[in-house]
Chain A
Amino acid sequence: MKDVKYIPQRDGYGLGLLELCKTREDILVLDADVAASTRTNWIRDQYPDHFYNLGISEQDMVGTAAGLALGGMIPYVSTYGVFLSGRAFDQMRTTVCYNNLKVRFGGAHAGISVGPDGATHQALEDIALARVLPKMMVIAPCDSEETRKAVIAAADIDGPVYFRFGREAVPVVTDENTPFTIGKARLVQEGSHCAVFACGAMVYEAMCAAEELAKEGVSLRVFDLHTIKPIDEEAILTAAKECGCIVTAEEHQTAGGLYSAVAEVIVKGQPVPMESVSVRDTFGQSGPPEALMNAYDLNAAGIIAAVRKVLERKA
């Protein structure tokens, strides 16, 4: 992949919020003392009337957001995904989802690529935790531009939405004209031998894997499965039928995330061999982001290996 720009996904979160606050009175942005990290400091500085820092109190922040939503506002609560989905899980479940409130959860610093902060700060279970909650929508955009679009598109969803996005600068693979529809997997490239469903920064890795494998005549159908819930069953079942095997790729635990979500679809409609590129029931550690991604096989090479394995099983 040549000439690719690198921008942190969290910039897209901040930009999307800025756009919303520019035109809408009902949008509020809440943070739990990590505004400089989540980019909500951009809102704090440009639209101070739309911003509240609740301090280091994720549970209270989510509860406060629920009250704001009950009062007719649309709050975006923002902090590291690991704390949002973990520390405030009961508040997400019983106060936000049970009431079906329009609270938006910005889960920043998702995945292992958070890097040197280590395992305590790497959200690797948040997709699983969020998607088991009734009413909750779950979106894992692939780059900063798609994150911006998701933040804006979610504003009027009639219920809770969880986003996850990474900290580091990652390749920008979409532009403002790339279609983005919540609930609709984005076909990145056509292919016939194996379908790859990826989310987050793994979409770029899947594109690199496809380019590499094409040299040896293996054709990958690559999807950006940005909406994990509600999932695009049609795209998954069609790909399973036409390609005959599937690889999933995510910066998340194997259990409960994208792999599980896709598997749940194919087992009921079109069972085919599947392989997963993910974090295998272990915690992360400190290290430079790229080195960590490589250490846990969360890269194009990992996807290529998974494709070779699944093609053997398909044969």
Chain B
Amino acid sequence: MVHTDLSALCRQLRQDVLEMIHAADSGHPGGSLSAVEILTALYFDVMKVDPKNPSDPQRDRFILSKGHAAPILYAVLARKGYFDPAILPTLRSLGSPLQGHPHMHMLPGLDCSSGSLGQGLSIANGLAFAAKKQNKASRTYCLMGDGEVQEGQVWEAAMTAAHFGLDNVCAIVDNNGVQLDGTTAEIMGVEPLGEKFRAFGWHVIDCDGHDLEALLAAFKEAEATKGKPTVIVAKTVKGKGVSFMENQCGWHGKAPNKDELAAALAEIV
């Protein structure tokens, strides 16, 4: 499928996310909606992937370190053509390939399982190491939440990527400022994120995580950056696109009921 209008696609993906989570009656809308443009840019422009050959060893890889944003990844993979979008409403149901958090052996197109926070960047580094060893051009992208960087392993991995000069790794922080229990500022401050990564030896790009043009430019800059890994600190809005969900930690992991779904879709479609 060719999508000339990525903005229209983003509206479709937001609809998919909300409908899936409503159907499952559980799931994480806030952090899925904040990552819509990031994943759209990656899968529909930046990454070299082929849904007809999901295990191509030469492909670029994507690690959803914030595994709870599975609904947006599933929606993107379905719309990209990895599987039939008709199964999206089976999210989280018994026997469904759409597990609550991604399981790579149950669904084509998933490069790794995830769900326990803080682990994705290490995995991305390992993939990048392997690509360098095998002289492959393959790049690895890793999406983390801003709350997630409270995990210590993220900073172990940040050291590793810089120490070994893994310029084929690109991390993205979905910097929506809100985590499960409240804002990151209230719970455990993570800012200044860019300065932290810079101090760890990374090339840092700040960008508006809902501006597709800005994201595409950032990914291009990341690819052109040699000798060090790049992190894109993407300023986003949790629950983006649905006014009553935006910036509300209450919508981190809650499904919209029938009326809420209708109200949300009315704003999006």
Residues of chain B within 8 A (CB-CB) of A54 are: 160
Q: Are B123 and A63 in contact (CB under 8 A)?
A: yes
A66: interface (CB < 8 Å):
yes
Given contacts A73-B130, A90-B116, contact A67 B105 (CB under 8 A): no
Consensus secondary structure, chain B interface: helix
Complex CA gap A221/B152 in Å reads 49
Shortest C-beta distance, B17 to chain A (Å), equals 24
Complex CA gap A59/B117 in Å reads 12
Residues of chain B within 8 A (CB-CB) of A94 are: 113, 115-116, 119
Residues of chain A within 8 A (CB-CB) of B156 are: 55, 57, 59-60
Q: Are A67 and B124 in contact (CB under 8 A)?
A: yes
Q: Are B122 and A67 in contact (CB under 8 A)?
A: yes
By beta carbon, the residue of chain A nearest B115 is: A94
By beta carbon, the residue of chain A nearest B121 is: A63
Q: Are A72 and B57 in contact (CB under 8 A)?
A: yes
Complex CA gap A94/B153 in Å reads 14
Pick out which of these stretches binds chain B: A5-13, A37-45, A95-103, A252-260. Answer: A95-103
B165: interface (CB < 8 Å):
no
Residues of chain A within 8 A (CB-CB) of B128 are: 67
By beta carbon, the residue of chain A nearest B124 is: A67
| Residue among B119, B126, B157 facing the most chain A CB atoms (10 A cut-off) | B126
B127: interface (CB < 8 Å):
yes
Taking residues whose C-beta sits less than 8 angstroms from the other chain, chain A's interface range is 20 to 34
Complex CA gap A57/B119 in Å reads 12
**What is the size, in residues, of chain B's interface with A at 8 Å between Cβ atoms?**
33
Q: Are B159 and A57 in contact (CB under 8 A)?
A: yes
> Which residues in window 215-238 of A have CB below 8 A to B?
none
Complex CA gap A91/B151 in Å reads 13
Shortest C-beta distance, A274 to chain B (Å), equals 36
Residues of chain B within 8 A (CB-CB) of A63 are: 119, 121-123, 125-126, 153, 157
Shortest C-beta distance, B106 to chain A (Å), equals 11
Residues of chain A within 8 A (CB-CB) of B157 are: 60, 63-64
By beta carbon, the residue of chain B nearest A93 is: B116
Contact residues of B with A, CB < 8 Å? 57, 61, 103-105, 111-113, 115-116, 119, 121-131, 133-134, 140, 152-153, 156-157, 159-160, 163-164
